[in-house]
Amino acid sequence: MSYLSKCKTCGKEISSEAKACPNCGEPDPHGGCFITSACTQYLGKDDNCEELKMLRKFRDDYILGIKNGNEIVKMYYEIAPKIIYAINKSTKKNKELEYIYSKWIAPSIKLVSIGENELAFKHYCAGIKFLAKKYL
């Protein structure tokens, strides 16, 4: 199921199915799991680590299939980079990334791994709402 998102590099709208941005050539225009990516990068994991693969699959297979799933993903793509920007400016960046990973991401991944997709979705959304309230 295709939807429009903004390229993380140039900000122009592109199809979710685009493998590269047709406007600026960015090879990974969607970025994907911005908050999880920031946390796993801080933890020294690569962009194709199990956590990211699992949450990307969860997004594609579960979230995009639920009512308003496209809108939810689009909204995440709009606010998550802003949250990460604010965290990156924080003097407590490392502590915050560790907290986000342990409090929101790791439990969500665990729930997905045992097939509790609805609970994983609710838990992850609660984390995003918490972070948005704190940083936006």
- List, for residues 66-110, the tens digit of each pLDDT value: 999 989 988 998 899 889 889 989 999 999 999 999 999 999 999
H or E segment and range at residue 3: none
Q: Which one has a higher pLDDT value, 3 or 41? A: 41
Q: Where are the domains of the chain?
A: 31-135
pLDDT in tens, 100-119: 999 999 999 999 999 999 99
First to last CA, the chain: 30
Helix and strand element counts for the chain (H, E): 6, 2
Of 11 and 48, the structure prediction assigns the larger pLDDT to 48
Backbone dihedral region for residue 7 (phi beyond 0: left; psi -120 to 50: alpha; all else: beta): beta
Please tell me the distance from the alpha carbon of residue 118 to that of residue 62, in angstroms, as a whole number. 9
Q: What's residue 1's pLDDT? A: 53
**pLDDT tens per residue across span 32-64:** 568 998 999 899 998 788 998 899 899 989 999
